[in-house]
């Protein structure tokens, strides 16, 4: 079962250990890097504990979108691993023992697959597998949601496989670039009319304005978008800076 895909990517990070500080998340920056390599951006992220009601409601909300969603953690066999059950509940389907994953688990663990490890083969009806390159405990895809383990060594190759297998049509060989300037002796509030005019005149770009916390009246100002759009908006912006006699230094263009 598939949905029309928006190409927008979100992450769901699951585990009480993330919220109580006993473990630090490692997935966010790794996925941002994976997406950037493919010309994609991360649109949103949610971090949740192992709480069934909240997990079910979150999956219900995200399954109503066309976003590509990667969910990390909670697909094991222990009582605190609730992702499989909650994703099925959110989708309104049954948990069924997936025959292919059952075979993989039996091959991996033999008789020790029963009675506990085999629970990891219970997936939402209609789910397909995401291969695990480290062992045979596959993750699963349901709609545009991809459920992978919390272990980075397993999860990250599974995310890359999912992107490259299912979503390469959304990859951008000409990803956005960003141009930045350091503005001096100017207040951010004085720039607001200019920002509004710039965005109205160049709707294909986005901007950022970051006042310095150490240098008085210094602003790190940036424009992001396709190369041509940034070039055009940047030329307009520099002309405005010169007209207003604002002191600035242009930073190196980044991809």
User: pLDDT for 29-56, tens place per residue?
Assistant: 999 999 999 989 899 999 999 999 999 9
CA distance 11 to 150: 12
Distances (CA, A) of 8 to 39, 67, 204, 226: 11, 5, 17, 17
> How does residue 2 score in pLDDT terms, banded at 50, 70 and 90?
very low
> How does residue 4 score in pLDDT terms, banded at 50, 70 and 90?
low
Q: Which domains does the chain have, with CATH numbers?
A: 9-170 (3.40.980.10), 177-250 (3.30.70.2860)
User: pLDDT for 83-93, tens place per residue?
Assistant: 999 999 999 99
* Residue written as token pair 């520099």: 238
Quote the pLDDT of residue 165.
97
Q: What number of residues does the chain have?
A: 255
Q: How do strand 9-14 and strand 68-72 relate by DSSP bridges? A: parallel
Contact of 72 with 155, CB cutoff 8 Å: yes
- Residues near 136 by beta carbon (within 8 Å), at least 6 away in sequence: 104, 105, 107, 108
pLDDT of 255 > 80? The answer is no
> How does residue 173 score in pLDDT terms, banded at 50, 70 and 90?
confident
Quote the pLDDT of residue 130.
98
Helices 188-201 and 227-244 pack at an angle, to 10 degrees, of 140
Lowest mean pLDDT among 79-83, 115-119, 248-252: 248-252
Arithmetic mean of pLDDT, 225-241: 96
CA distance 45 to 216: 33
Quote the pLDDT of residue 174.
85
CA distance 92 to 80: 21
User: pLDDT for 177-193, tens place per residue?
Assistant: 899 999 999 999 999 99
CA distance 123 to 141: 10
| Rg, the chain, Cα only | 23
Quote the pLDDT of residue 18.
95
Record the tokens describing residue 73, joined without a space. Answer: 């953690």
Quote the pLDDT of residue 1.
43
pLDDT of 245 > 90? The answer is yes
Mean pLDDT, the chain, rounded, equals 94
CA distance 39 to 167: 12
């Amino acid at each position: 079962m598939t949905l029309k895909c928006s190409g927008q990517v979100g992450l769901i990070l699951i585990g009480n250990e993330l919220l109580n500080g006993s473990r630090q998340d490692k997935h966010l920056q790794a996925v941002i890097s994976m997406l950037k390599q493919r010309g994609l951006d991360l649109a949103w992220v949610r971090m949740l504990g192992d709480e069934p009601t909240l997990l079910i409601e979150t999956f219900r909300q995200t399954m109503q979108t066309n976003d590509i969603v990667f969910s990390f953690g909670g697909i094991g066999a222990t009582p605190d691993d609730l992702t499989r059950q909650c994703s099925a509940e959110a989708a309104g389907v049954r948990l069924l023992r997936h025959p292919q994953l059952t075979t993989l688990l039996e091959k991996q663990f033999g008789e020790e697959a029963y009675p506990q490890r085999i629970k990891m083969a219970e997936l939402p009806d209609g789910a397909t597998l995401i291969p695990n390159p480290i062992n045979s405990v596959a993750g699963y895809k349901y709609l545009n949601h991809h459920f992978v383990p919390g272990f980075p060594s397993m999860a990250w190759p599974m995310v890359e496989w999912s992107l490259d297998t299912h979503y390469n049509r959304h990859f951008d060989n000409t990803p956005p670039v960003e141009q930045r300037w350091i503005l001096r002796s100017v207040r951010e509030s004085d720039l607001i009319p200019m920002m509004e005019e710039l965005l109205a005149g160049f709707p294909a770009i986005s901007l950022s304005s970051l006042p310095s916390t150490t240098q008085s009246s210094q602003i790190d100002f940036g424009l992001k978008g396709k190369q041509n759009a940034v070039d055009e908006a940047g030329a307009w912006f520099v002309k405005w800076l010169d007209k207003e006699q604002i002191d600035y230094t242009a930073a190196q263009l980044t991809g």
